[in-house]
Amino acid sequence: MLRSLAEEPAFGAVPAPVLHALVGGADVTDARKGDVVYEAGAHWRRLGYVVDGSIAMVAYGEDAKEHLYEQANTGDFFGVSAMFDGGSEMSKTVVVSSRARYASVPHEDVLALCREHGVLALAFGQTLARRVRKTTALLAAQMNLSAHERIARYLLGFASGDGLAPALDPLPNLTQAQIGAAAGTVKDVAARAIGAFERAGALKRERGRVRWLERDRLRELARLPNESAEAMRVSPAP
């Protein structure tokens, strides 16, 4: 955790002793897929950090179904908003990777460090700003993109290399309902999209789960420019 934070741009200016103090007060928890970190409305009173794996924030719609709307992966903090505004947690937070390890620090310990070291508070401010920007981008996508395009863009986040390459964790563990919810749609729409993408060569499934992704084909389906073509377009002439 200490090494990851030191390499994170937002925390690069935080003095090493401050990071040591932050990490030194952390408790580490090992969890498995489906384990709940906290429920919506809970007063967890801790700042979380994903050491390894992936967790998801789940909200309930009018249909009483779970809707995955945000994900925290290795190196991400969670529970930052509740720490600063003193409110309850906004969503049920659950492990979605096969295994996960997360660290947590009591709010009062982190806030005390922030009051003493403004550079740490600024680093967390940048963390929140990135999250707000990401949420705003998701809202814009909801308004301007089709469900299939949103699903393709979501899957792109798990593409690991050129050609048909293994999908990054935790995508192989996610259900079609979870993929659909993350893209702002329902299971049936996600199932149709995944089937169409497989026929188009953009992905490959094993036992019903998405195991391989083809980045360039997904970019086409997501209505994004091809990366190699874009690189040629912006490269200066020799």
Label residue 232 by pLDDT band (50, 70, 90).
very low
Is the pTM of the predicted complex or chain greater than 0.85? no
| CB neighbour list of residue 110: distance below 8 Å, 6 or more residues apart | 22, 47, 83
Instruction: Say how far apart CA 20 and CA 56 lie, in whole Å.
Output: 27
Stretch 32-55: mean pLDDT: 94
Query: Any idea where the domains of the chain sit in the sequence?
Result: 2-122, 143-234
Stretch 78-91: mean pLDDT: 92
Mean pLDDT over each residue of the chain, to the nearest integer: 87
Which CATH number does 2-122 carry? 2.60.120.10
Label residue 63 by pLDDT band (50, 70, 90).
low
Reading the block at residue 18, the tokens are 């401050």
89-121 confidence digits (pLDDT tens): 988 999 988 899 999 999 999 999 999 999 999
201-210 confidence digits (pLDDT tens): 999 999 889 9
What is the rounded (10 degree) CA torsion for 194, 198, 204, 207? 60
Which CATH number does 143-234 carry? 1.10.10.10
Instruction: Say how far apart CA 111 and CA 149 lie, in whole Å.
Output: 41
